[in-house]
Amino acid sequence: MAQMTDPVTSQPVFRFAPSPNGYLHVGHAYSALFNAKLAREMGGRLLLRIEDIDPVRSRPEYIAAIYEDLAWLGLEWEEPVRRQSEHLSDYALALERLAARDLVYPCFCSRADVAAAVGGRSDWPRDPDGAPFYPGVCKHLSDQDKQRRLASGQHAALRLDMQAAIAQAQDLIGWCEFFEGAEPRDVNAEPSLWGDVVVGRKDVPTSYHLAVVIDDALQGVTDVARGMDLFNATSLHRLLQTLLDLPAPRYRHHRLIKDDDGRKLAKSSASTPLRTLRAEGVSAQQVRERLGFA
């Protein structure tokens, strides 16, 4: 299998990458503390990246709260803070590169259109986020049709042609996974789990998946440490990295904080905001201890 356990010989670069669409909660604290601990132990750098591509859900007060909550937890990160909204042209360029290789196509469908095309079939395959596989409605539009719709001002998302993408990536793709331990394991990527996933949204010229892959490369991230909820996303990220000739970071998908872990902190749950705990008189030290980072 190609290049999975190549040792990264440079100084490790970690990142904590919250989306500012809500307040940080106990689960985020685990992820941030996990990254900080690894960076410290490995003599690495820790970046903070604000994943603010969503123009509707991202709010300045949540960004301010991220700084405040992380500082309260006792964390330090490298300046400047990275912002995804500052890299929209990099994402657009990546989409152009995928388009030049005929790997994306415009899709005019709304979620309701997709649901209607799937026709409520309960056996219809779904991606790891639970979205129905794209049934291909716009995949076979004629060039003329596409141009006419674009010219009339209809917005289109860009979808990855998964079959073509996998064929072009050729090599069996995998990654080097540590989970929370010290021993690397080789994992085979299964990007087909995602079907013809959206890589460029109708409202912004990127998607979570594309932006993360471009940023990790731009910022020299060598080690991606994030929750197990993103384990399957890594299959897609490795495919995009391969198609765009970007290096493969090492991955450490950590456990997800269960409600119980949080509840022991002042009767709250894993999704209780850190600032709520703070207001209830819980100290940062108590949070760190409860999460195993005393």
Q: Which residues bind ligand GLU (CB under 6 A)?
A: 17-19, 51, 212, 226, 230
Q: How many Cβ atoms from other residues are within 10 Å of residue 260's Cβ?
A: 9
- Which of helix, strand or coil describes residue 263? helix
- Which of helix, strand or coil describes residue 110? coil
CB of 34 to ligand GLU, least distance (A): 11
Give whichever of 138 and 210 is closer to ligand GLU, judged by the CB atom.
210
Give whichever of 90 and 113 is closer to ligand GLU, judged by the CB atom.
90
Contact 49, 279 (CB under 8 A): no
CB of 50 to ligand GLU, least distance (A): 9
CB of 161 to ligand GLU, least distance (A): 24
Give whichever of 16 and 105 is closer to ligand GLU, judged by the CB atom.
16
Dig out the tokens for 128 from the structure: 């790891």
Alpha helices, H only, the chain: 26-41, 60-72, 88-100, 111-118, 143-151, 162-169, 208-218, 231-243, 259-263, 274-279, 284-290
Q: What are the backbone dihedrals phi and psi of residue 200, each rounded to the nearest 5 degrees, phi first?
A: -130, 120
CB of 264 to ligand GLU, least distance (A): 23
CB of 121 to ligand GLU, least distance (A): 30
Give whichever of 33 and 107 is closer to ligand GLU, judged by the CB atom.
33
Give whichever of 109 and 199 is closer to ligand GLU, judged by the CB atom.
199
Give whichever of 51 and 161 is closer to ligand GLU, judged by the CB atom.
51
Among candidate residues 200, 197, 131, the one with its CA nearest the CA of residue 163: 197
SS (H, E, C) 175-187: EEECCCCCCCEEE
CB of 95 to ligand GLU, least distance (A): 19
Residue with tokens 């009767």: 267
